[in-house]
Amino acid sequence: MGIPHFLVIPYPIPGHVNPLMQLSNLLAKNNCKITFLNTEFSHKRTNNISKDNLKNDQPTTINFVTLPDGLEPEDNRSDHKKVIFSIKRNMPNLLPKLIEDVNDLDVENKISCIVVTFNMGWALEVGFNLGIKGVLLWTASATSLAYCYSIPKLIDDGIMDSAGHMNPLMQFSHILAKHGCKITFLTSDENYNKMKTTSIIGGKGKIMESHINLVSLPDGVNPQDDRKDVAKVILSTKTTMSAMLPKVIEEINNINCDNKISCIIVTKNMGWALEVAHQLGIKGALFWPASATCLVSFNSMESLVEEGIIDSQNGLPKKEEIQLSTNLPMMEAAAMPWYNLHNAFFFLHMMKEMQNMNLGEWWLCNTSMDLEAEAISLSPKFLPIGPLMGNEHNIMGSLWQEDETCLEWLDQYPPKSIIYVSFGSLISIGPNQFIELAHGLDLLKRPYLWVVRKDKGDNEVKNSHPNELKGNQGKIIDWSPQKKILCHPSIACFITHCGWNSTIESVCNGVPMLCWPFFSDQLMNKTYICDVWKVGLGFEKDENGLITKEEIKKKVDELLEDEEIKERCLKLMEMVVKNKGEGDNNLNKFINWAKE
């Protein structure tokens, strides 16, 4: 048997080429043979920059080969959508012949494994068809890969809508319906079929309210296509739905000529609909389900690029800290919501998306001036309509069965005695961290309520409470009626992932928070919780990236003994709840604007 022979294929940007070259050098030093496949354009550019290095510094067991990426020399290769689709359209047909040619040159050491980076997964499919082993080199953090890996499951479970933020917009629709507005809720055919299997849809497409009617359009993705390719779904949705939307609007208006569509409301990734609305003379608004500061960060991307603070191609920061405005807090660069994606397509997509979002005359946010006055003041488009609380009976049902027995369990305990732990619907922590958290809660010697969702699928690790911990002090449930829990008098504090909905619900109930953010806007929210509002504390990770049981016990004890934090929580709650009338007035302002 010959030596291992790796065919390595990076996506043609330095952030992928360089790490894969480093791995190739390590493999070569361990007596492996490497065939390094570049695009012709990338290889020529690399040769022009460091021709001597390629000739003299690379091990002799690394051989460079090329294939065309399908683009013309004058094409703009900063358009990563174009590059990705051109590569996928051209290189898969050429790769089998290249592998055959390479193998013919050394029949004793044929290619035994293909190693790729992100965006080059098609090569693993080619390798699989040829009986060649395949490996992914992920050039970003393991957490970001875990997030990307979870996307198809989140879509299947209805947690994440591939065409936007369906659930928060549905909740907002019910509030509008309660104010006497008529709602036409447009989703994709794919999502509509999934919704029919839940309690969301009643008879004939009605969704719990007589003023809400559900309609659907195809997203252009074929049944056999891979919906894990979120970029493909976004582009296909835009191309397909934007062409069909005017006809849908016309048909709906013909059914009820006295109540024609007067306003189109969209969430992120659906900004193209505002462009359609603009062309048809229909008002448009953006409903943003995260914080106003998060929206400011996306709207600031262009200026951050111009000022040289972030990279123009992938959004990665050139500084350790970023201040979006002189009135906003200084934040770690890693707190920017696009930073965790490590994906050039989504960064460039959001740059374009914000151009469409600016066509919306209002940016509706579930926040208030008490919480984010500085961010809201940065654009006249901001209309804070929060906090959207007290609407539990008018929103669509949960996609998971809520365990109401926990409320009776909470009734048994005195005020401010229970530790509530929940990481929302998106987060699944690793088994080692899970065990550490379980031991940390046990060390507290306090009662706790812990939400642990049971993962679906036989191939996934299922977290369970350690056998040696009887859990006599706590109760573990699959899913919780969180709004009811956080307003229960027995809750002392909330260990949270810092999602915006959870943050708002905690603030409105005066519950101190222990922050455990994972990705997206959660790190930004932590900054506000700990440094701006000062109503919570954050955990510190050890050298292995774990939050230890000792750290958990330490921070929970510290929080529960901090009377100043508790006092600030109550003051912030009183302020936000007292001024909820301002949010209601802004909502009425929006409704009246839509009627004009």
Claim to verify: residue 66 and residue 117 sit in the same structural domain: yes
Torsion from C-alpha of 552, 556, 557, 561, nearest 10 degrees:
160
Q: Are 128 and 134 in contact (CB under 8 A)?
A: yes
Distance from C-alpha of 391 to C-alpha of 177, rounded to nearest angstrom = 12
Q: Are 212 and 185 in contact (CB under 8 A)?
A: yes
Per the model's pLDDT, the better-predicted residue between 558 and 203 turns out to be 558
Instruction: Give the pLDDT confidence of 140-187 residue by residue, as tens digits.
Output: 656 445 545 555 454 444 444 443 366 678 878 888 988 889 999 998
Distance from C-alpha of 316 to C-alpha of 425, rounded to nearest angstrom = 27
pLDDT of residue 323: 92
Q: How many residues does the chain have?
A: 596
Distance from C-alpha of 541 to C-alpha of 547, rounded to nearest angstrom = 5
Instruction: Give the pLDDT confidence of 516-568 residue by residue, as tens digits.
Output: 998 878 999 999 999 999 999 999 999 888 999 999 999 999 999 999 999 99
Claim to verify: residue 101 and residue 219 sit in the same structural domain: no
Question: Domain span at residue 287?
Answer: 147-393
User: DSSP 3-state assignment of 183?
Assistant: strand
Query: Is 551 within a domain?
Result: yes
Claim to verify: residue 198 and residue 333 sit in the same structural domain: yes
Count Cβ atoms within 10 A of the Cβ of residue 125 and give its class: 0-12 exposed, 13-18 middle, 19 or more buried: middle
What are 395's two structure tokens? 């929103």
205: pLDDT strictly greater than 60: no
Q: Residue 243: which residues within 8 A CB-CB, separation 6 or more?
A: none
Claim to verify: residue 438 and residue 530 sit in the same structural domain: yes
pTM, two decimals, is 0.68
Q: What is the CATH number of the domain that holds 524?
A: 3.40.50.2000
Number of domains in the chain: 3
Element (H, E) at 167: helix 166-178
Claim to verify: residue 230 and residue 343 sit in the same structural domain: yes
Claim to verify: residue 376 and residue 444 sit in the same structural domain: no
Q: How many CB atoms lie within 10 A of CB 478?
A: 12
pLDDT of residue 397: 42
pLDDT of residue 261: 96
113-116 and 133-136 as β-strands: parallel, antiparallel, unpaired? Answer: parallel
Q: How many CB atoms lie within 10 A of CB 511?
A: 24
Count Cβ atoms within 10 A of the Cβ of residue 402 and give its class: 0-12 exposed, 13-18 middle, 19 or more buried: middle
pLDDT of residue 544: 86
Per-position b or e across 432-451, b if 16+ CB within 10 A of its CB: ebbbbbbbbbbebebbbbbb
Query: Is 587 within a domain?
Result: no
Query: Is 592 within a domain?
Result: no
Claim to verify: residue 228 and residue 362 sit in the same structural domain: yes
Distance from C-alpha of 86 to C-alpha of 545, rounded to nearest angstrom = 38
Q: End of a domain among 370, 393, 416?
A: 393
φ/ψ of residue 141, rounded to 5: -75, 155
409: pLDDT strictly greater than 70: yes
Q: Are 530 and 514 in contact (CB under 8 A)?
A: no
pLDDT of residue 382: 93
Claim to verify: residue 151 and residue 133 sit in the same structural domain: no
Q: End of a domain among 372, 393, 414?
A: 393
Instruction: Give the pLDDT confidence of 225-274 residue by residue, as tens digits.
Output: 777 677 788 889 999 999 999 999 999 999 989 899 999 999 888 999 99
Distance from C-alpha of 50 to C-alpha of 57, rounded to nearest angstrom = 10
Query: Is 37 within a domain?
Result: yes
214: pLDDT strictly greater than 80: yes
pLDDT of residue 501: 84
Query: Is 593 within a domain?
Result: no
Distance from C-alpha of 43 to C-alpha of 64, rounded to nearest angstrom = 9
Query: Is 596 within a domain?
Result: no
Q: End of a domain among 74, 108, 139?
A: 139
pLDDT of residue 561: 97
Distance from C-alpha of 526 to C-alpha of 417, rounded to nearest angstrom = 24
Claim to verify: residue 188 and residue 90 sit in the same structural domain: no
451: pLDDT strictly greater than 50: yes
Distance from C-alpha of 262 to C-alpha of 274, rounded to nearest angstrom = 12
pLDDT of residue 351: 85
Claim to verify: residue 405 and residue 385 sit in the same structural domain: no
Query: Is 388 within a domain?
Result: yes
Q: Tokens 């055959």: give the residue.
A: 100
pLDDT of residue 344: 74
Comparing C-alpha atoms, which of 502, 405, 401, 503 is closest to residue 454? 401
What are 362's two structure tokens? 């209002």
Claim to verify: residue 300 and residue 412 sit in the same structural domain: no
391: pLDDT strictly greater than 70: no
Q: Tokens 């291992």: give the residue.
A: 4
Element (H, E) at 440: helix 431-444
φ/ψ of residue 215, rounded to 5: -130, 160
Claim to verify: residue 167 and residue 80 sit in the same structural domain: no
Distance from C-alpha of 283 to C-alpha of 255, rounded to nearest angstrom = 20
Cross-strand pairs, 422: 496
